[in-house]
Structure 1
Amino acid sequence: MPTTPTPPTPGHAGLFVAFEGGDGAGKSTQARLLRDTLEAAGHEVVLTREPGGTELGAAIRQVLLHGDHVAPRAEALLFAADRAHHVATVVRPALERGAVVLTDRYLDSSVAYQGQARALSHEDIRNISLWATEGLLPDLTVLLDVSAAQGRARREGVHDRLEREDDAFHEAVRQGFVLLAEREPERYLVLDAAGDPAVLHRAVCRELASRRPDLGALVPAGGEGPEAGQRVAGEAR
């Protein structure tokens, strides 16, 4: 894993939350639930994704996920190119005006997929994205930990180019995410993706409220429920 310290994230007025995890982890569901809760509390929310959060990104997504074979290093560079444009045109402007930005995947996905599962240099992959984004890191990264078998079952036979990789690839991705969370636990909330989505959402709301009391009360639909899907930082479950 990378050994150099994480550079400071440039200051911004808003809040940046990334949802990470293997394919089928439920990232999109959790991002939408958090958007709804934050908007109900009166916050401006920008919900986006990588790749594909811009017009250019949509074209890159088509090549990366629905095209033919892409060489591993080209794959890594295409993800970084999407990220550079995404941050410059969507993420950073929203943060500067004080919005909450929720993204389905960010730079940790590149380290886990290309650095770990493609066996490229973790340091190189991370540094490419840090250069591309001018050092912008999320204020909180929610990692939804999912096994290869669970992810495959959740996808129900619908697979893009990366999802079609074998279970060994997806377990390597999972391990890459877990190692990243172990290295920077202060930036992560790690949850068992097998938990009930509503319970996981409440855990995310509690974490955000503890980190950013200025957000006010974040009351998800259904209120408080059983304490399940708790934080499992550093654990692969």
Structure 2
Amino acid sequence: MIKKPKFIAFEGIDGCGKSTQAKRLADRLIQQGDTVHLTAEPSTRPIGKMIRDIFAHKLDADDRTIAALFVADRLDHVINHEEGILANLEKGITVICDRYYLSSYAYQGSLVPLDWVMNANALCVELAKPTIHIYIDIPVELSFERLQNSRAFLERYETMENLKRVRDMYFEVITLLKEQEHLVILDGTQSIDAIAEDVWEEVRRL
């Protein structure tokens, strides 16, 4: 269906359903005959594992350190020769990423200066800007309810107060970047199938 490889990033606060939609889209593109690399951030590589350990309360770190770790993990995710985003795109493979630099802008930018976070991510933006960012929006209350029902324990940042801060920051960033990036906002309170159709309508026009 897609004539040339695209880079599609899914965004949203925790519990919005973006991981489900990323997988649904990957499956549908594969059924249409496309080759797809489905990936996520934090990555599964060493720096990404360190971030996951911090979120799971196995390690402690300052918010500024976490922001810097995300930049390092993202750059490695973009340029590593084994399974990096650029390596896949250069092979003609469409890349679908569950979170990318907008997540850093929203999550870390709500805790440390946004301009610092954006400047730190500038090389990643230059090297691999997504063809489209798909932001799936849900209310904070629904996010927190889903997290409580699906988690054995809540991760770092998964509080009502922080989720609200992050959602507000997402909209601030989307407004800031709307002339520079291809951004779409989808209603995440719909059924999984309805959201998947909205995603498909956006992607098939690329």
Q: TM-score range by the shorter chain?
A: 0.7 to 0.9
Deviation at 1:160, TM superposition (A): 4.4
Contact 1:83-1:133 at 8 Å conserved across structures: no
Distance 1:43 1:157 in 2: 32
Change (3 A) 1:133 1:57: farther
- Aligned counterparts of 1:190 and 1:200: Cα–Cα separation in 2: 11
Q: How many percent of aligned residue pairs carry the same amino acid?
A: 29
Q: Determine the structure 1 residue equivalent to 2:50.
A: 60
Secondary structure in structure 1 of the residue aligned to 2:108: helix
CA contact (8 A) 1:76 1:114 kept: yes
Q: Post-superposition shift, 1:102?
A: 0.5
Counterpart residue identity of residue 168, structure 1: E
Residue of structure 2 in register with 1:86 after alignment? 77
- Please say if residues 48 and 70 of structure 2, whose CA atoms lie closer than 8 Å, have aligned partners that are also in contact: no
Residue 44 (structure 1) aligns with: 35
Structure 1, unmatched stretches of 5+, are 1-12, 213-237
Q: Match of 1:103, SS?
A: strand
How far apart, CA to CA, are the structure 1 residues paired with 2:154 and 2:95? 26
Residues in 1 aligned to 2:182 and 2:32: alpha-carbon distance in whole angstroms:
24
- Pick which of 198-207 and 148-157 moved more: 148-157
> Which 5+ residue runs of structure 2 have no aligned equivalent?
none
Match of 2:130 among 130, 138, 145: 138
Partner of 1:192: 187
Aligned to 1:225: none
Task: Show CA shifts across 1:91-144 (max 9, x none).
Answer: 01001111110011000111101112x1x1211101211225644211100101
**What SS class does the counterpart of residue 42 from structure 2 fall into?**
coil
2:160 equivalent among 164, 167, 170: 167
Residue 24, structure 1, aligned to residue 15, structure 2: yes
Alpha-carbon distance change, 163 to 123 in structure 1, aligned in 2, over 3 angstroms: closer
* Structure 1 range deviating more: 173-182 or 98-107: 173-182
Q: Which residue does 1:179 correspond to in 2?
A: 172
CA distance in 2, matches of 1:161, 1:204: 28
Higher relative contact order, structure no. (Cα contacts within 8 Å, ≥ 6 residues apart): 2
Partner of 1:9: none
Q: Hey, what's the Cα distance between the residues in 1 that align with 2:40 and 2:113?
A: 24
Deviations 1:194-222 (A, max 9, x none): 11111111111111122x2xxxxxxxxxx
Query: Aligned letter for 1:173?
Result: V
- Structure 2: how far apart are the matches of 1:24 and 1:40? 27
Letter of the 1:170 counterpart: L
Over aligned residues, Cα RMSD in angstroms?
1.7
Cα distance in 1 for partners of 2:139, 2:156 equals 15
